[in-house]
Amino acid sequence: MITDIEHTAIMAADPAELIAWYRDVLGFNVIVAMEDRGQYFLSLPGGGMLEFLKASDKPGGEQANDDVGIRHIAFTAEDYDEVVAHLEEKGVTFQNESHDAGGGNKRNFFPDPEGNILQLIHRPEPLGQA
């Protein structure tokens, strides 16, 4: 039986530069750094992991949130407004002016430096727990 997602992999043009952004801007921890292979694992405080690997030299296309396939990674925040303020101080530009998703939920999308779509979300009542 599958019980959880261990990690999500992100192919990066410059893995070292991209993991530095995830570390310095988002506050993730580097737990494995195989610089000679261009492979890194970062952990989140809640236990999730992201893997970063060196991408091929093939050009990547621009991604839209409604394209087929995996489109974004959503990160939770307990103090959503504080995290938004921190990210904006670090130069993050959110997709929408409003963060209100209705019902007390807050969310917005933003890109990482290589254009991967990320989401910040806060739900007063986590999904599946009502």
User: Which CATH number covers residue 85?
Assistant: 3.10.180.10
Say whether both 103 and 75 belong to one domain: yes
Model pTM above 0.85: yes
Domain that holds residue 28: 7-56
Count of structural domains, the chain: 2
pLDDT tens figures, 82-125: 999 999 999 999 999 999 999 999 999 999 999 999 999 999 88
Q: Helix and strand tally (H, E) in the chain?
A: 2, 8
Tokens of 43: 């952990």
- Residue 129 has a pLDDT of 67
CATH number of the domain that residue 28 is part of: 3.30.720.120
How, if at all, do strands 100-102 and 73-76 pair? Answer: unpaired
pLDDT band at residue 71 using 50, 70 and 90 as cut-offs: confident
Adjacent-strand bridge partners of 54: 12
Q: Residues 46, 76: contact at Cβ < 8 Å?
A: yes
Same domain, 78 and 120: yes
* Percent of the chain residues topping a pLDDT of 70: 98
